[in-house]
Chains A and B, each alone.
Chain A
Amino acid sequence: AQSVTQLGSHVSVSEGALVLLRCNYSSSVPPYLFWYVQYPNQGLQLLLKYTSAATLVKGINGFEAEFKKSETSFHLTKPSAHMSDAAEYFCAVSPFQGAQKLVFGQGTRLTINP
């Protein structure tokens, strides 16, 4: 069965600092991996996705993530945090293309300090 674990339910960084949100996955087959973001009082929206092409994936708002099979990781990074990045971030896995069920991690709440 597929699963994801997000290390750290809360992450706090200063504005302009590096953002690193950790995600490890468990999958018996090569997975498709996703990061979703949920801003306050809004629905979840797709930030970026890994679908077995390039291992370094770029998303919206300057975020990127690197798929590392040897570490079963898909960590999300942004070089310089902005106040508008404050939100909840969810890592998710789908076992294969066409699978309709996403399995989400428990989420990481990112706080940006001025």
Chain B
Amino acid sequence: DTGVSQNPRHKITKRGQNVTFRCDPISEHNRLYWYRQTLGQGPEFLTYFQNEAQLEKSRLLSDRFSAERPKGSFSTLEIQRTEQGDSAMYLCASSLASGVTGELFFGEGSRLTVL
């Protein structure tokens, strides 16, 4: 069990560019979540998948954000036309559908800085 892996760990980009983050969950976990954390705040829910199906999206997820989990394994989070307000830590977590409610296993996060 290698834990949840996120790449890249840090990304610096210019406003208007597109960025993509990847999350590899714990291998047997069928649920995958994306959260966003800004400085001094707790994580905010963005979206979650059960297998390849995206079952819930937050209103925080504007049309510039898209997430996929094509084969029910790894997931990508893409941000198009980045804005300075997108600067944040993007957290991925995974869990078992049959597991304990609320027991999420988090990765170390991908930090985005938009200049």
Chain A residues in the interface with B (C-beta under 8 A):
9, 32, 34, 36, 41-46, 49, 51, 90, 92, 94, 96-107
Contacts and interface: CB of A to CB of B under 8 A. Distances in A.
B40 A9 contact: yes
Given A43-B107, A49-B103, A51-B101, A106 B41 contact: yes
A43 B43 contact: no
| A interface, over-half SS | loop
Contact of B101 (A90, A97, A106): A97
Given A43-B4, A45-B106, A99 B101 contact: yes
B56 A100 contact: yes
A53 B110 CA distance: 36
B42 A90 contact: yes
B109 interface: yes
Interface of B: 3-4, 31, 33, 40-45, 48, 55-56, 58, 91, 93, 100-109
Contacts of B109: 43
A100 B108 contact: no
B35 to A, nearest CB: 8
B42 A106 contact: yes
